[in-house]
A and B are shown apart, each in its own frame.
Chain A
Amino acid sequence: MNGEELTEQETALYDRQIRVWGADAQRRLSKSHILVYGMKGTVAEFCKNIVLAGVGSVTLVDDRAVTEEALSANFLILPDENLYHGKTLAEVCCDSLKEFNPMVHVSVEKGDISTFGVEFFEKFDVVVISCCSLAKKKLINQKCRKLPKRIAFYTVDCRGSCGEIFVDLQDYKYSKKKLEETVECQLEYPSFEDAIAVPWKVLPKRVSKLYFAMRVIEQFEDIEGRNAGQTSIADLPIVLKLRKELCETNSVSESQIPDAVLERLLTDTSEYPPVCAIIGGILGQEVIKAISGKGDPLKNFFFFDAMDGKGLIEDISKP
């Protein structure tokens, strides 16, 4: 794993995926370090995927205790109180993840991620955060962007039948084969803060309603000082008012953000396992692409809604 060639063990284990992305990409994966924050069902899926893929290391951060709710959608947590008593979510998940691939180094970092300094993030190639407030997302994104080293930054959130992924690869150069030629590509990604600041008016009309709805809920949680996902149907009146204000400020019609979508996002805050699998899979693929430098990465939001079954990409950046 440390030499240039893949070991025999790696070649045997990774045979089927090497046939997808090549030995070179596999080598790069084995040298990569991923930081993951917020160990809910979707992130559990994501971690499973990248551990199986054979990344170098995965560092988990989540000091919350194991709860009933966590047990229901997170297959990394075995419902044996003896096993999880006194342990944090990250610790329990860490134990399970190690089993999937002994060649991957899985560990836990304790503490409040908002207080970790920029030097801490420098150790990583990829940072994935979930269950974060608006403020935390911006903060961590900024820390990643401060470093000379380019760190790939992702946020992921699943609420009921919906899921959202945000991608920030900063200035990303990669090459790909088109017919017989190798084509050099370059993409410029906005930070999370800059992306959501893009005025709604300039966005194409057919941008997913989910994008706007998530922003409304995000604002609401921020204003009310709520934790991510800490909402209920009782919040609907205030949320609708907030929608009105935001739409007015942005000069767009309120019909862009139907009541029904907001209702769903407010009430179905717990994770729905099929959606976790789907979002965790898409996110896994994206991170593998970014590390290996192979394949067009998605830019910059991905949405899935089980209601209509569409999984779509939205490019939310300054035109």
Chain B
Amino acid sequence: MASEEQLSAIKRAKVLMVGAGGIGCELLKTLALSGFQDIHIIDMDTIEVSNLNRQFLFRQYHVGQSKAKVARDAVLRFKPNISITPYHANVKESRFNVDFFKEFDVVLNGLDNLDARRHVNRLCLAADVPLVESGTTGFLGQVTVHLKGKTECYECQPKPAPKTYPVCTITSTPSKFVHCIVWAKDLLFAKLFGDKNQENDLNVRSSDTANPSEHSEDVFECRKDEDIEQYGRRVYDHVFGHNIEVALSNEETWKNRNKPRPIYSKDILHVKMTKENGDTEKDCATGDVSAMSSLSLKNPQDVWSLAENSRVFLEALRLFFSKRGKEIGNLTFDKDNQLAVEFVTAAANIRASSFGIPLHSLFEAKGIAGNIVHAVATTNAIIAGLIVIEAIKVLKKDNNSYRMTYCLEHPSRKLLLMPVEPYEPNKSCYVCSETPLSLEVNTRHSKLRDFVEKIVKGKLGMNFPVIMQGASILYEVGEDLEDDMVAIYAANLEKALSELPSPVTSGTVLTVEDLQQEFSCSVNIKHREEFDEEKEPDGMVLSGWVEAPADKDNNKPNGNGESTSNALPSEEIQEDEKDVEIQETSEGTENVTGKKRKLSEVDESRNQKKPEKLDVDDEDDELVISDDWESLTKKKRV
């Protein structure tokens, strides 16, 4: 298909791939076969067994090795004479600065998290390098093209915020299984095995006001003369029995809700727990310590009974203390830690049982707790093919032909692969259009630290910020700062905004920059006295930055993960009560509205179609336009 001109553009091109995983493997292979000869690839991950069902450049014996390096070696086997430069590194590292990005003709993303995508987006804008973005989840996928000034940037359409749940739902009134998982993972597991100094809502809610002599702290500490089994039962009884009784005593809570029932270990498990005879405590496949193996529960797809869950809970706890005691106090939940997954599954199930919520299998629980994205090879292969097609258009500077392509699970008007023209940049995008933002904050109470952590790093996605008021630098990060400056900045962090050396009050305009991303924006400060504790827990409200609503009911086991797909427009559901950021969810669904103008409408000169070799029958050439998205999503919901 390629003309001479196209072939030589491909040969000369220097391409950067970010991500060597599901999409990355397919993409690297297709780029190599298509004639690309200078490819750079960045990926910080190492290979895991669960990758092998689709990341076909990797083998069992590669587990633990760098994805970028192994992918490179594998492709060189069938295309030996091209150059592939792997970087086993995080794309956010300072060496991947604007100058680095400027070297490339096009950047191709195959990432799986919003954070990195935003970062790359900003660098591509700063370097003025075209970016082809993509994502897949299960059978859905999409490819989008971003050119500075010509199309939307990746952040022009806000992506949904990580899913959060109100604290009280998690601690007192769960109604869905995911609430129980969050409780088990971020509260109970953290309390028992994590950093003891971390604030934990389990403290707050489990304190027994009727018996002030027993501090809640004591409950979770193993007593000197206590054996592990006793300890385990005591913890069990406290969280599933005692705490529930305390909650029940507050009648108000249960007026319109089903009451939970307290569960005590003696009622569920009649005999003292002893190790089953002859069973191994180790999981055969991985050699990890496992309660399931110990109890001969073989199938992760089985839904265990309350008794079985209780046994797993106690056994997992016992195994943690007896086999992995050294790690206690430092553990965070890791989906690849079999014992942790077993514990969290069991704990969540017992709690679910208490609240009348259906129980789930370990397989399902692991997916929710671990934010696992379901994935298959075929979708990644299709998306990779589409990425290469767009990349080639970019190299040929074929402006009118760029398309965003959606790979659907169910055809829409006969189309499984649906191309759409890109939109022009969003004039109120704070990233590419430099629109100022506004922040409502209590300047006398909120500290600079809150602003830096929650707004600048959190919402704005900056990594190494510089915060200025006019010519005064209030805060910055850097390696070559003088000690006295570092001390001043550290002190500034702890000051209330209005107390800063350059006071920040209503009407102040702050400039916030990330030099690495070469990204800058203005924040207009507005003082406000009161904030709603439940709805505005940060005590700060940022506006001018349109945040897409998170999907309130997104608790399907498969849909909860941080998906890579921006496949379909999100639905309208509002998450009222924002709170502790507990989970991340599927990240990107485009809010496509009918209002934006498409590229071809904007520029008259661009509208002149070049004489094409193809006879284009206009009647037939239906590019789906945005107005249809609303009806499309409605269809999808069925």
Partners in one complex: yes
Chain B residues, CB < 8 A from A161: 1
In the bound complex, how far is the Cα of B203 from the Cα of A253, in angstroms?
78
Chain B count of residues within 8 A CB distance of the other chain: 70
Chain A residues, CB < 8 A from B386: 274, 278, 309
Chain B residues, CB < 8 A from A13: 49-50, 52-53
| B392, chain A: closest CB distance, angstroms | 8
A126 proximal to B (CB < 8 A): no
Chain A residues, CB < 8 A from B299: 5
Contact count A vs B, C-beta below 8 Å: 193
Instruction: Please tell me if the beta carbons of B558 and A307 are within 8 angstroms of each other in the complex.
Output: no
In the bound complex, how far is the Cα of B416 from the Cα of A295, in angstroms?
14
CB-CB contacts of B283-304 with A at 8 A, as 1s and 0s?
A: 1111000000000001111000
Instruction: Please tell me if the beta carbons of B53 and A206 are within 8 angstroms of each other in the complex.
Output: no
Pick the contact of B416: A72, A258, A313 (CB < 8 A): A313
A40 proximal to B (CB < 8 A): no
Instruction: Please tell me if the beta carbons of B389 and A260 are within 8 angstroms of each other in the complex.
Output: no
Chain A residues, CB < 8 A from B377: 17, 48-49, 52-53, 281, 284
Chain A residues, CB < 8 A from B375: 16-17, 19-20
Chain A residues, CB < 8 A from B407: 311
Chain B residues, CB < 8 A from A72: 33
Chain A residues, CB < 8 A from B382: 277-278, 281-282
In the bound complex, how far is the Cα of B56 from the Cα of A13, in angstroms?
12
In the bound complex, how far is the Cα of B377 from the Cα of A144, in angstroms?
28
In the bound complex, how far is the Cα of B405 from the Cα of A306, in angstroms?
11
A293 proximal to B (CB < 8 A): no
User: Which of B147-155, B316-324, B458-466, B615-623 has 4 or more CB atoms under 8 Å from chain A?
Assistant: B615-623
In the bound complex, how far is the Cα of B50 from the Cα of A17, in angstroms?
9
A302 proximal to B (CB < 8 A): yes
B388 proximal to A (CB < 8 A): yes
Instruction: Please tell me if the beta carbons of B56 and A17 are within 8 angstroms of each other in the complex.
Output: no
| A70, chain B: closest CB distance, angstroms | 12
Instruction: Please tell me if the beta carbons of A79 and B374 are within 8 angstroms of each other in the complex.
Output: no
Instruction: Please tell me if the beta carbons of B53 and A17 are within 8 angstroms of each other in the complex.
Output: yes
Instruction: Please tell me if the beta carbons of A19 and B374 are within 8 angstroms of each other in the complex.
Output: yes
A312 proximal to B (CB < 8 A): yes
Chain B residues, CB < 8 A from A38: none
B546 proximal to A (CB < 8 A): no
Instruction: Please tell me if the beta carbons of B405 and A309 are within 8 angstroms of each other in the complex.
Output: yes
Chain B residues, CB < 8 A from A81: none
A65 proximal to B (CB < 8 A): no
Chain A residues, CB < 8 A from B373: 16
Q: Which of B510-524 contact A (CB under 8 A)?
A: none
> With A49-B378, A272-B1 given, is the CB distance from A277 to B26 under 8 Å?
yes
Instruction: Please tell me if the beta carbons of B285 and A73 are within 8 angstroms of each other in the complex.
Output: no
CB-CB contacts of A246-290 with B at 8 A, as 1s and 0s?
A: 000000000100111101100010001111111011101100100
Pick the contact of A53: B30, B376, B558 (CB < 8 A): B376
Instruction: Please tell me if the beta carbons of A16 and B376 are within 8 angstroms of each other in the complex.
Output: yes
Instruction: Please tell me if the beta carbons of A9 and B405 are within 8 angstroms of each other in the complex.
Output: no
| A73, chain B: closest CB distance, angstroms | 6
In the bound complex, how far is the Cα of B81 from the Cα of A79, in angstroms?
10
B367 proximal to A (CB < 8 A): yes
Chain A residues, CB < 8 A from B363: 18
In the bound complex, how far is the Cα of B617 from the Cα of A195, in angstroms?
25
By Cβ-Cβ distance, the 4 closest A-B pairs, closest first, are: A311-B417, A277-B385, A19-B374, A309-B419
Known A-B contacts: A12-B50, A255-B617, A281-B381. Give 13 more (CB < 8 A).
A5-B299, A16-B54, A16-B374, A20-B374, A48-B377, A79-B79, A102-B60, A161-B1, A259-B615, A273-B33, A277-B381, A282-B416, A311-B417
Interface residues of B (CB under 8 A from A): 1-2, 26, 29-30, 32-34, 49-50, 52-54, 56, 59-60, 77-80, 138-139, 283-286, 298-301, 363, 367, 372-382, 384-386, 388-389, 392, 403, 405, 407, 409-411, 414-419, 557-558, 613-615, 617, 620-621, 638
A-B contact pairs, 19 of them (CB 8 A): A15-B50, A20-B139, A20-B375, A48-B56, A75-B32, A79-B79, A99-B59, A179-B638, A258-B617, A264-B1, A268-B1, A272-B2, A277-B29, A282-B378, A285-B139, A302-B416, A308-B621, A309-B419, A310-B419
